Structure 1
Amino acid sequence: LYPDIIERFHITTYVLFVLSQNILEAEGPWFESFAIDVLQVYLCETFIDTIKHSFLAKFNEIKPSAYSEFLEDLCKQTLNEKPNEHRKDLTFIPLAPASVVIRVLTPVYAIVLPYGPLPWRIFWIIFWSSLTYIMLAICKMLVGLSLRRLATWYINQRLESKQHVD
Structure 2
Amino acid sequence: DLSLLRFISAELTRGYFLEHNEAKYTERRERVYTCMRIPKELEKLMFFGIFLCLDAFLYVFTLLPLRVFLAMFRFITLPCYGLRDRRLLQPAQVCDILKGVILVICYFMMHYVDYSMMYHLIRGQSVIKLYIIYNMLEVADRLFSSFGQDILDALYWTATEPKERKRAHIGVIPHFFMAVLYVFLHAILIMVQATTLNVAFNSHNKSLLTIMMSNNFVEIKGSVFKKFEKNNLFQMSNSDIKERFTNYVLLLIVCLRNMEQFSWNPDHLWVLFPDVCMVVASEIAVDIVKHAFITKFNDITADVYSEYRASLAFDLVSSRQKNDYSDSVSRRMGFIPLPLAVLLIRVVTSSIKVQGVLAYVCVVLFYCG
Q: TM-score range by the shorter chain?
A: 0.5 to 0.7
Q: Which residue of 1 aligns with 2:269?
A: 31
Q: Which amino acid aligns with 1:92?
A: F
Distance 1:18 1:72 in 2: 34
Q: Which residue of 1 aligns with 2:288?
A: 50
Q: Which residue of 1 aligns with 2:304?
A: 66
Runs of 4+ in 1 over 4 A off after TM superposition: 111-114
Matched, 1:10 2:220: no
Q: Which amino acid aligns with 2:239?
A: P
Q: Which residue of 1 aligns with 2:350?
A: 107
> C-alpha offsets along residues 131-154 of structure 1, whole Å, 9 cap, x if unaligned?
79x94xx79xxxxxxxxxxxxxxx
Query: Higher Cα Rg: structure 1 or 2?
Result: 2
Q: Which residue of 1 aligns with 2:336?
A: 93
Distance 1:96 1:43 in 2: 26
> Contact 2:251–2:276 at 8 Å: present in 1 too?
yes
- Please report how far the alpha carbon of residue 75 of structure 1 lies from its aligned counterpart in structure 2 after TM superposition: 1.4
> Contact 1:14–1:100 at 8 Å: present in 2 too?
no
Distance 2:271 2:342 in 1: 25
- Please report how far the alpha carbon of residue 72 of structure 1 lies from its aligned counterpart in structure 2 after TM superposition: 1.2
Q: Which amino acid aligns with 2:336?
A: I
> Contact 1:74–1:90 at 8 Å: present in 2 too?
no
User: TM-score under structure 2 normalisation?
Assistant: 0.27
- Please report how far the alpha carbon of residue 12 of structure 1 lies from its aligned counterpart in structure 2 after TM superposition: 1.6
Q: Which amino acid aligns with 1:59?
A: F
* Gap regions ≥5 residues in structure 2: 1-236, 320-330
* Gap regions ≥5 residues in structure 1: 82-87, 115-127, 140-166
SS across alignment from 1:98: helix
- Please report how far the alpha carbon of residue 9 of structure 1 lies from its aligned counterpart in structure 2 after TM superposition: 1.3
- Please report how far the alpha carbon of residue 33 of structure 1 lies from its aligned counterpart in structure 2 after TM superposition: 2.1
| Pairing partner for 2:256 from 20, 24, 28 | 20
| CA distance 1:105–1:39, change in 2 (3 Å) | same
> C-alpha offsets along residues 62-100 of structure 1, whole Å, 9 cap, x if unaligned?
10111111111111112227xxxxxx8334212441343
SS across alignment from 2:301: coil
Alpha-carbon RMSD across the aligned residues, in angstroms, is 3.0
> Contact 2:238–2:333 at 8 Å: present in 1 too?
yes
Distance 1:96 1:30 in 2: 29
Matched, 1:40 2:278: yes
Q: Which amino acid aligns with 1:51?
A: V
Distance 1:17 1:97 in 2: 11
Distance 1:63 1:13 in 2: 32
Q: Which amino acid aligns with 1:10?
A: T
Distance 1:102 1:4 in 2: 24
